[in-house]
């Protein structure tokens, strides 16, 4: 029973390049959330998606960041023209269609982006 | 404007004693409050939660207390064990008529349990 799968676990990019982070939710889960953890900080909400729909993107930076969760395949968080301030751990979480009842989220192990 | 705050960045306790981690929030509309535990290089894992209509929830060594009037919750771990050493995140979820709760996290408290 696989949990939330994220890849790559580690990604190194130079300034100006693109970063693509992938997330496959737990089996049977249709809600996906992306959180970012900057060094020495907590997890900050970025975006909440369901299949083919962005439900809440209030935490997404206005430029360079985008997210999708297509009908088939994993959810993708895309960061264009990365800058050093994008260096962080990006966590994906999922929850079942009916919700967990408590708001409990199931997290992946994270993707650590380093921008040189 | 940080809606969920953990004012203690770190806490150190002796094995066998009680660990008390605190959390304050500002939004009275939150439906559930949760605690997650995180080890280095891993994702957070759910520990325990409490509904906004309750004031206490207990699961083994872990108890969460909620004081709605003070907008404060705490996690008690007793007895503390060295394996409890981790970062603990307080989170609050807001359902807003959806099935899924978007969670707001505090900045975490690093707990160290000394043998």
pLDDT tens figures, A22-63: 999 999 888 899 999 998 788 999 999 998 999 889 999 989
CA distance A32 to A26: 10
In total, the C-beta contacts within 8 angstroms joining chain A to chain B are 75
* Contact at CB, B44 and A99, closer than 8 angstroms: no
CA distance B27 to B110: 24
Cβ distance B92 to B3 under 8 Å? yes
What pLDDT does A102 receive? Answer: 72
Stretches where chain B sits below pLDDT 70 are 1, 95-101
* Contact at CB, B98 and A55, closer than 8 angstroms: yes
What pLDDT does A28 receive? Answer: 87
* Contact at CB, B105 and A35, closer than 8 angstroms: yes
Cβ distance A23 to A5 under 8 Å? yes
- Average pLDDT over chain A, rounded to an integer: 92
* Contact at CB, A97 and B99, closer than 8 angstroms: yes
Cβ distance A8 to A112 under 8 Å? no
Q: Is A5 on the interface with B (CB under 8 A)?
A: no
Q: Is B95 on the interface with A (CB under 8 A)?
A: yes
Cβ distance B66 to B54 under 8 Å? yes
User: Chain B, 50-79: which have a CB under 8 Å from a chain A CB?
Assistant: 51
* Contact at CB, B32 and A102, closer than 8 angstroms: yes
Question: Residue A1 pLDDT > 70, yes or no?
Answer: no
What pLDDT does A13 receive? Answer: 97
Task: Report residue B5 as tokens.
Answer: 């705050």
């Amino acid at each position: 029973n696989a949990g939330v799968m994220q890849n790559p676990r580690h990604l190194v990019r130079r300034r100006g390049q693109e970063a693509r982070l992938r997330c496959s939710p737990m089996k049977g889960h249709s809600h996906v959330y992306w959180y970012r953890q900057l060094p020495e900080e907590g997890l900050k909400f970025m975006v909440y998606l369901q299949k083919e729909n962005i439900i809440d993107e209030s935490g997404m930076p206005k430029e360079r960041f985008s997210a999708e969760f297509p009908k088939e395949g994993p959810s993708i968080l895309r960061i264009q023209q990365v800058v050093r301030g994008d260096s962080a751990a990006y966590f994906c979480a999922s929850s079942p269609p009916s919700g967990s009842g408590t708001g409990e989220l199931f997290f992946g192990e994270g993707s650590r982006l380093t921008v040189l | 404007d940080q809606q969920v705050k953990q004012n203690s960045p770190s806490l150190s306790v002796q094995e066998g004693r009680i660990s008390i981690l605190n959390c304050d929030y500002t939004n009275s509309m939150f439906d559930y409050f949760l605690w997650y535990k995180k080890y280095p290089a891993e994702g957070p894992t759910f520990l325990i939660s409490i509904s906004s209509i309750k004031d206490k929830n207990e699961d083994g060594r872990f108890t969460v207390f909620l004081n709605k009037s003070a907008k404060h919750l705490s996690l008690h771990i007793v007895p503390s064990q060295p394996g409890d050493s981790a970062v603990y995140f307080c989170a609050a979820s807001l359902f807003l008529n959806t099935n899924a709760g978007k969670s707001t996290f505090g900045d975490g408290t690093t707990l160290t349990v000394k043998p």
